[in-house]
């Protein structure tokens, strides 16, 4: 089997899991990494036995077929575009881009060049969500009428070593965690035809709570509490809320409500998790084996 050579751009907090997971796929050979912080790139390269390169060197290396883009969200579009223009397939962390127009441009560029674009999240492929998909397809809860989805917490500045980007352009809870919830909802219910929403900044300044930057202040530039109503093409109506402003909450992450019952969906940030269903015939919640 011929391996595909892979280069990682962006050597921040999330990169470690990509290096580790990449080793479990025989078809992939991660050979290089790059970061604007050259010392960070060198440290990751030494840790994982790959070459440290500049971003320009990695994008220009003819041996590298796939670029994994782990940069901050505000740089996703430009890195993906440059990689595609250089003839490389791309997988990027979410979001694919910050606007629909930029996302469409990337997909059109890839199609024109015969390349592939992939993007996180991929958790909808996991056993938990595939089990939920099977339950809905089999009519276990009837026709989906509505859904609720909540991602409520108090932000990553308390534990993340370099959290400024979460509160700048391209950050905030919807760009950071919203893709997991929206992907889950559209996987289970179908496309969204219309949405309405409201947003606010509740705390204009955050304090970093760990790492070398502990005690430093972050000025918040993007909404951190966002609520919306989703009208699905099927006629179902969903409620979505994502927040970095909530200290504590006791709400389900995702539930789907149908004409014959309800479905308790696992955390969309994971591949598994418990699945529960309530049906009109039994009138009680029961656990469903995750077998997919």
Confidence (pLDDT) at 251: 84
Report the SS3 class of residue 229. Answer: strand
Confidence (pLDDT) at 116: 98
Helix, strand, coil fractions of the chain, as percent rounded to 5: 30, 30, 40
pLDDT (tens digit per residue) in 217-245: 999 999 999 999 999 999 999 999 999 99
Segments of the chain scoring below 50 in pLDDT: none
Q: Which of 119, 154, 185 is the last residue of a domain?
A: 119
Q: Considering its fold, how many domains does the chain have in total?
A: 2
Confidence (pLDDT) at 83: 98
Confidence (pLDDT) at 292: 74
CATH number, domain of 244, equals 3.30.360.10
Pair 110, 140 in one domain: no
Q: Which helix (H) or strand (E) holds 234?
A: none
Confidence (pLDDT) at 173: 97
Pair 67, 94 in one domain: yes
Confidence (pLDDT) at 6: 98
DSSP 201: -
Confidence (pLDDT) at 44: 97
CATH number, domain of 95, equals 3.40.50.720
Q: Which of 119, 137, 153 is the last residue of a domain?
A: 119
pTM metric for this prediction: 0.89
Q: Which range marks the domain in which residue 153 is found? A: 123-288
Confidence (pLDDT) at 201: 98
Q: Which of 91, 119, 147 is the last residue of a domain?
A: 119
Cα 22–chain centre separation: 18
Please report the DSSP string for 78-134 in residue order.
Answer: HHHHHHHHTT-EEEEPSPS-SSHHHHHHHHHHHHHHT--EEES--GGGSHHHHHHHH
Q: CB neighbours of 224 closer than 8 A, spacing ≥ 6?
A: 155, 167, 172, 173, 200, 201, 202, 203, 243, 244, 245
Pair 182, 218 in one domain: yes
Pair 130, 241 in one domain: yes
What is the C-alpha to C-alpha distance for residues 84 and 74, in angstroms, rounded to an integer? 17
- Token couple for 78: 């430009």
Pair 266, 137 in one domain: yes
**Residues linked to residue 264 through DSSP beta bridges, in sequence order:** 255, 276
């Amino acid at each position: 089997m011929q391996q595909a050579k892979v280069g990682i751009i962006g050597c921040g907090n999330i990169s470690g899991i990509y290096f580790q997971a990449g080793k479990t796929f025989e078809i992939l050979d991660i050979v290089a990494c790059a970061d604007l912080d050259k010392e960070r790139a060198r440290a990751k390269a030494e840790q994982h036995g790959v070459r440290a390169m500049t971003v320009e060197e990695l994008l220009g290396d003819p041996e590298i077929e796939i670029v994994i883009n782990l940069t901050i969200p505000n740089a996703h579009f430009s890195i993906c575009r440059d990689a595609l223009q250089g003839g490389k397939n791309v997988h990027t962390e979410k979001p694919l881009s910050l606007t629909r127009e930029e996302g469409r441009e990337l997909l059109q560029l890839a199609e024109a060049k015969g390349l592939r674009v992939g993007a996180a999240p991929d958790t909808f492929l996991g056993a938990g969500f595939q089990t939920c998909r099977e339950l809905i397809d089999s009519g276990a809860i009837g026709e989906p009428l509505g859904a609720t989805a909540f991602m409520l917490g108090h932000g990553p500045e308390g534990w993340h070593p370099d959290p400024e980007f979460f509160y700048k352009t391209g950050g905030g809870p919807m760009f950071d965690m919203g893709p997991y919830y929206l992907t889950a909802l559209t996987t289970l219910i179908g496309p969204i035809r219309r949405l309405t929403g409201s947003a606010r900044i509740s705390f204009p300044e955050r304090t970093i709570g760990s790492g070398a930057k502990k005690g430093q202040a972050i000025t918040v530039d993007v909404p951190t509490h966002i609520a919306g109503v989703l009208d699905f093409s099927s006629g179902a109506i969903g409620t979505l809320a994502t927040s970095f402003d909530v200290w504590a909450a006791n709400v389900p992450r995702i539930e789907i409500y149908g004409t014959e019952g309800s479905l308790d969906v696992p955390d969309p940030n994971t591949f598994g998790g418990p699945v529960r269903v309530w049906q009109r015939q039994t009138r009680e919640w029961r656990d469903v084996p995750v077998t997919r």
